[in-house]
Structure 1
Amino acid sequence: MDADAHIADFGRFVTASPSSYHAAAEVARRLVDAGYLLLDETADWSGAVLPGARVVVVRDGAVLAVALPDSASPVTPFRILGAHTDSPGFKLKPKSTTGANGWLQAAVEVYGGPILASWFDRELELAGRIVDMAGGEHLVRTGPFLRIPHLAIHLDRTTNSGFGPDPQRDLQPVFGVGDLAQADLVAHLAGLAGLAPEQVGGYDLLTADTQEPRRFGADGALYASGRMDNLTSVHAGLVGLLAARPTDSIAVLAAFDHEEVGSRSRSGAAGPLLADVLKRVTAALGGSTEDAARAFAASWCLSADAGHAVHPNRGEVHDPVNRPRVGSGPLLKINAQQRYTTDAHGAALWARTCAQAGVPTQEFVSNNAVPCGSTIGPDTASRLGIRTLDVGTPLISMHSARELCHVDDPGFLADASAAFFAPE
């Protein structure tokens, strides 16, 4: 795959995906354009999920796509690439309009684990969904609209020696000036959806950085963007699925919501979504519970989530021997405490996959004194009993408003994803 073309398309994907709901919709749009059939979860799937079918399901901010080979049977195993659509940021509260001293502000709460300081003094947007009183869903985005302002150093001389923002006091972004009694942020958002304020029944709206993704550095080899954790994996899985032609397994792209807050939701990896879809696929093929268990026992899940490259200024926080670098291929993520699910069989599968794809790979393991995060992998393995391994694109500045990678690495992951979906 051409790295330049891939990174350019990734930039377009990120720009179209300021929220998990937009990301799920963009994946579905691209798949439908490629001939996939969008399924309604309330419908009977038996006439649509047949050998050779290509289908996609959207549930809230999650999306699952299934590509069945012509030879698919009730015991055909699955090859699942799991990722997540959400990223850290700030979520709009129910009583959303606040302010002080002539400023109009949006009332937000922290979503996930963002690097708080990185969100200051950036032009942000609100993006997500509004649900009207009749239950209709409307995707909205404001464009540049909000800014979380730093206090000037003249007024706080300790800023550079120990900045620790108070999440309630310091993180409410400004969006204008005027009379608070006359301001109504929800009315503005309703107008973007073509609704009157009284038609708004509820909303799920989060912040996103509005600066466009960009190449920079010597020879344009570095890439900066918001939401690379984890849209790098969602996009790589999408590109890999569209490129692959599976013959002996059913290829599944599963992009979940709410990973950054624990995955425990109806659209998260700890919820029933993946099991629901896989079991319905088996049933549509005429299979039984016994057939589903046999298929699961022979299946694999590639849990794809961004990982850590060695930091240029803080190399001591990384493992002293395993030193992954940007530009050197995707990471195989390993952890003795099962925060990542890779075992020896998974490592061997990944080695075969990368060899088939012709891409380099490298291992990531945490410094013993620096506990690692986790992924959707443990949830998927625990819920379904499917063999799972953890991989991802190496980044630095993870959970910043704007993260950094090498331009080659997202394409490497896409090539490996295609090989995983269609092993030789």
Structure 2
Amino acid sequence: MNDTQDFLDFLAAAPSSHHAAAEVSARLQAAGFTPQDPARAWDASPGGHVMVRGGAVMAWWVPEDASPDSGFRIIGSHTDSPGFTLKPEPELHSAGWQQAAVEVYGGPILASWLDRELTLAGRVVLADGSDRLVDTGPLLRIPHLAVHLDRSSELKLDRQVHLQPVYAAGAPELSVMDCIAEQIGVAREDIIAHNLITADTQPGAVFGGAGDFLAAGRLDNLTSVFTSLKAMLGAVASGDTGSDILVLAAFDHEEVGSNSTTGAAGPILEDVLARTAGALGADEEHRRQMFARSSCVSADAAHSVHPNYAGKHDPTHHPLLGSGPVLKVNGNQRYASDAVTSGMWQRACASAGVPSQTFVGRNDVPCGSTIGPITATRLGIDTVDVGVPLLSMHSARELAGVQDLLWFTQALEAYLINH
């Protein structure tokens, strides 16, 4: 299987953050990583370890000679993407239609979600305290209004009124929770809580005149989750990891600010680092020394220059699909990159033989942010922000370059083994 098809398979297996975390864990366990229960004694024995908490997954590789004199090499990403989450009381009825009550999650391009067959995916909790992953398949659709009924130049979408998807008509006895319960084979009353989000069910596809474009949902930021996973496995297989502990940190809730137990602003990564250091015999002073020897690559999707809106981009910085991973820089600290960490990234790209580009926003066009500044601020670990260039970021179906994913994997792997 080639890497592009492997990525498309990964996307298909990860319609929600919970699925993405589970898929990363399953692949790492298949490669010999051992699951870690955070409620039990911490395992920092040589080899790979992995922990899933909700929609986040943390993994760490401990070399044979790891000690309090080691550092951490971290690749951070996030598993969540914009969409629509199912409300706790999800039943709506309007004009004979059955609709699912949803809440906008993050900053989706709203119009891009219209007229698509959507799944509901994520986690449900049952009355016995257990939980299940759910992926309903094509269940919902947010229908557009016919042009004959509104001939204004631009249809204004009300986030509360116009974005509630339909799942049935003339069937008031059929609830959306009935559909979910049937999909996982339980009684409706057994489901007592849920975290479910929409995802486009159209499979990802490679296209373009040269077959070098890739279109799919959730490229922001599963491109980074997948490439960091491949880089971790590649670095481990190389046998050349040095004495530093390698860490994969894929957080949830980045699209809504990262303020959760599984987000980058929460304690989950610090727990992994501190408990690993402690299990290696490090006291508080040695742990702080380990952090000072550490670095982090914040891997999140970047913007490609847009051919129809080139004026939205800085005139001297035009990252392009198919031209390599992007180093993201912002003087106002929306990204964590500085001269030292930018140099670290450029050396990794050079070591891997990978081209590199730089993104800097226009002064009059605000840019987004990432887990990078949060991680750097919370832990005091030097961090760089990088990613593959995309068009249509936050659309239900985004656009990437096939070669950029391959190059990004190679550069991330070079970062992990460049000691």
Structure 2 partner of 1:397: 392
CA–CA separation in structure 2 for the residues paired with 1:41 and 1:258: 20
* Equivalent of 1:263 in 258, 269, 272: 258
State the secondary structure of the residue aligned to 1:352: helix
Q: Would you say 1:217 and 2:211 are equivalent positions?
A: no
CA–CA separation in structure 2 for the residues paired with 1:401 and 1:237: 23
Q: Would you say 1:22 and 2:8 are equivalent positions?
A: no
TM-aligned CA deviation for residue 406 of structure 1: 1.1
Structure 1 partner of 2:149: 155
Counterpart of 1:197, as a letter, is R
* Equivalent of 2:342 in 347, 355, 364: 347
Structure 2 partner of 1:143: 137
CA contact (8 A) 2:167 2:176 kept: no
CA–CA separation in structure 1 for the residues paired with 2:174 and 2:6: 39
Structure 2 partner of 1:422: 417
CA contact (8 A) 1:75 1:282 kept: no
The C-alpha deviation readout for 1:214-255, integer Å capped at 9, x for no partner, is 011102111101000000000000000000031131110000
Q: Would you say 1:72 and 2:66 are equivalent positions?
A: yes
Structure 1 partner of 2:84: 90
Structure 1 partner of 2:229: 238
Matches within 5 A, 1:245-324: 245=236, 246-324=241-319
Structure 2 partner of 1:128: 122
Aligned-CA RMSD value: 1.0
* Equivalent of 2:166 in 174, 184, 205: 174
TM-aligned CA deviation for residue 103 of structure 1: 1.1
State the secondary structure of the residue aligned to 1:218: coil
* Equivalent of 1:363 in 358, 362, 386: 358
CA contact (8 A) 1:121 1:148 kept: yes
CA contact (8 A) 2:336 2:384 kept: yes
CA contact (8 A) 1:91 1:110 kept: yes
CA–CA separation in structure 2 for the residues paired with 1:211 and 1:379: 33
TM-aligned CA deviation for residue 187 of structure 1: 2.3
CA contact (8 A) 2:84 2:197 kept: yes
Structure 2 runs not aligned, ≥5 long:
none
Q: Would you say 1:165 and 2:157 are equivalent positions?
A: yes
CA–CA separation in structure 1 for the residues paired with 2:44 and 2:156: 52
Counterpart of 2:205, as a letter, is R
TM-aligned CA deviation for residue 183 of structure 1: 2.3
TM-aligned CA deviation for residue 194 of structure 1: 2.4
Structure 1 partner of 2:374: 379
Q: Would you say 1:37 and 2:34 are equivalent positions?
A: yes
CA–CA separation in structure 2 for the residues paired with 1:186 and 1:57: 30
Counterpart of 1:169, as a letter, is V
Counterpart of 2:248, as a letter, is L
State the secondary structure of the residue aligned to 1:417: helix
CA contact (8 A) 1:222 1:404 kept: yes
Counterpart of 1:9, as a letter, is D
Structure 2 partner of 1:190: 181
* Equivalent of 2:330 in 329, 335, 355: 335
Structure 2 partner of 1:12: 9
CA contact (8 A) 2:118 2:141 kept: yes
State the secondary structure of the residue aligned to 1:169: coil
* Equivalent of 1:106 in 100, 119, 123: 100
TM-aligned CA deviation for residue 385 of structure 1: 0.2
Percent of residue pairs bearing the same amino acid type: 53
Between the two proteins, the alignment pairs up a number of residues equal to 415
CA contact (8 A) 1:75 1:292 kept: no
Question: Where does structure 1 differ by over 4 angstroms across 4 or more consecutive aligned residues?
Answer: none
Deviates more, 1:260-269 or 1:182-191: 182-191
CA–CA separation in structure 1 for the residues paired with 2:185 and 2:417: 44
Q: What TM-score results when the alignment is normalised by the length of structure 1?
A: 0.96
Q: Would you say 1:226 and 2:221 are equivalent positions?
A: no
Q: What TM-score results when the alignment is normalised by the length of structure 2?
A: 0.98
Structure 2 partner of 1:61: 55
* Equivalent of 2:403 in 403, 408, 413: 408
TM-aligned CA deviation for residue 74 of structure 1: 2.0
TM-aligned CA deviation for residue 102 of structure 1: 1.5
TM-aligned CA deviation for residue 205 of structure 1: 0.2
